[in-house]
Structure 1
Amino acid sequence: MSASSPHGFTVVRGRGYRPEQVDARMTELNAQREAARERTAQLTRQAQEMTEEIERLHAVVAALPPQTYEALGPRAQGLLATAEAEAADLRAAAEAEAQALTEQAEEEARTLRDTAREAAARRRADAEAAAARTVETAQDHADELRAQARAQADKVVREATEALREMSRRCAALLAEQEKEQAAESDATDRELAAQEAACDARVADLDERGQHVLADARRQHAEAEEWARHRHEDAVAQGEELLAQARVREEAIARETERVLREHAEQGDELKQHMAHVRASLAALTGRTSDAAPTLPAQQSTSTQD
């Protein structure tokens, strides 16, 4: 049964995660990051619109004669209090949303960084395990070839030894028989015996030559097996180093992207805070108060003047 990681990834091969799940999670995080950027841009536009509205109201107020709150009617005072409350609520909501976006971006960056580190560690472990398995397979194959060569050589030596023993027995029997007939057939027997001895020598030489060829072939196969195992080991090490290098490059790229996103969110958060501070200062200047307040709408000012 496959286990699951804290991020919902299915664990496979003992320690690794499924690549398609990691890619899907990365895509989801990127989408959330883009949504956060769009929301930040929207808040920035709203702050800009508020700034422009404040500037327009400044111009309207500058054209009006000076007046105090005591000169306003009850309805106008109520509208002004309502506008101030709405401005305070809007400012608090904007600050809370900006703080939430900043915290969400930081959390997503931490998650992305942790996921990248886990992926790099898994790839490094997989590369090391693959290299170890390749080396082990090559060594096993070399041992198998070496054992086969030894077994073949031992078989040839046994067969040659048995053939030599059998030939020796036949030669001994033949010599004994020839000795009995030597008195009557000395010349013919000598020639025949010489021919048989030559045949025995040729047979022995042939068997010896075959044994030497088999031993030489066994040594050659053994050398080739060791050379093959050495090449496989070198290839496995090179492949493992390449996989590790690719994992390091990927990890560094993700780390750089994470740092860039954090810097962008931090800069956007600072810009939003500066806009909000400017809005508060403009509202304070417009209402003539030192505390935070928001301007009244043009329609409300018109109504207040009529009252």
Structure 2
Amino acid sequence: MSGAGGAESSQYGFVGVRGRGYRPEQVEAAAAKLSGERDEAWERAARLTVLAKEMEEEVERLREAVANLAPQMYETLGKRAQYLLELAEEEDAAVRGAALADAQAEADAARAAADEARDDAQAHSDEVRGKAEEYAQRRIAAGQAEADDIRVSARRDVKEMRGEALAALREMRERTDAHLADQAKEHAERIEEADREAAEQVAASEAWEAGAVAEAEERLSEAKRVLGETEEEARHGQEDAEAAAAELLAQARARAERIERETESILEGHEGEREEMRSHMEHVRASLATLTGKTPAETE
């Protein structure tokens, strides 16, 4: 089986198409019969040709045999014998002529029969060929029509499938665009929220740092004030001043240490800011040492 329309090739070269023309087995049987008759006609023509050739050869052989016969001389015989001889020669000539004529007639008849058989075989072959070509043309036309139908149907199916594929692709693209738009919007919202939270954290950190620095400076000012008052009171009475100064210095030192601890607790987790506050507290200690006249080690 092969071909677009389910075509089937036969042993005589015919191409069958389902549902159209004659039944393949009928055509095959008719073609086989015509082919057999054609072969028989060719065989009969060949036999007659051989027979005609053999008869022509026989006639030619008889002619040569007669021509090669030696002449018979009967002059010494009597008149009756010569008369009989003449009759015999005439009869022989008549028989020879009749035989030659019959052989020629038979050769001509055989040649004519061979020619007729050959002509019949050729006519029969031409008829078979014509019928085969006519059948082939019908089958080709039917196959072409069916192929055209299949081609049109295939094109229609391809067009429909292409339309369905384009619609599905368009829908998928729209869904993808919508999903990407939603993701982009969600991403932008997350970025905006993260920026807002970061800004709030930075503002809170800056406010806390400003508050911590202000509080530390305020406590430093308070310590300076206390130290100033202590120094002022120390000038009024040596012993009382020294005792009061020692007590005030102890209080100031305790207060400064508390402030330092609180400040370090507040600044825990902010290493850079803690280092800055530590430097600030070193400055406070140095200021206290300057006010008391002691080194920072002695103050501690």
Length-normalised TM-score, structure 2: 0.40
Length-normalised TM-score, structure 1: 0.39
Return the index of the structure with the highest Cα Rg.
2
